[in-house]
Amino acid sequence: MSSEVGSEKNKTTRTMFMRRSQAAANDFTTVLEQLITADLLDFCQSLICIAMASAMHIHLLNFASQYHLIHQMGLRHLEFHLLVVQQLRKTYFGAEILHHVFYTARDRIQKMKSKESSTTLSHEALSTAFDSGPGHQNWTEGLSEVESMSLYLAEFSNYLDGGDFDMGQL
The string of pLDDT tens digits covering residues 109-137 is 999 888 877 664 554 554 554 454 444 45
What CA–CA distance (Å, rounded) separates 58 from 135? 18
Domain layout of the chain by residue ranges: 2-169
Half-sphere exposure of residue 15, counting CA atoms within 13 Å on the CB side? 9
Please report how the helices 93-118 and 68-88 are oriented relative to each other, as an axis angle in degrees rounded to 10: 150
pLDDT 10s digits, 41-80: 989 898 999 999 999 999 999 999 999 999 999 999 999 9
Which of these, 88, 33, 22, 27, lies nearest to 60 by C-alpha position? Answer: 22
Whether the pTM exceeds 0.85: the reply is no
What CA–CA distance (Å, rounded) separates 37 from 46? 19
Contact between residue 56 and residue 78 where contact means Cβ atoms under 8 Å apart? yes
Rounded to 5 degrees, φ, ψ at 120 are -80, 155
What CA–CA distance (Å, rounded) separates 81 from 48? 11
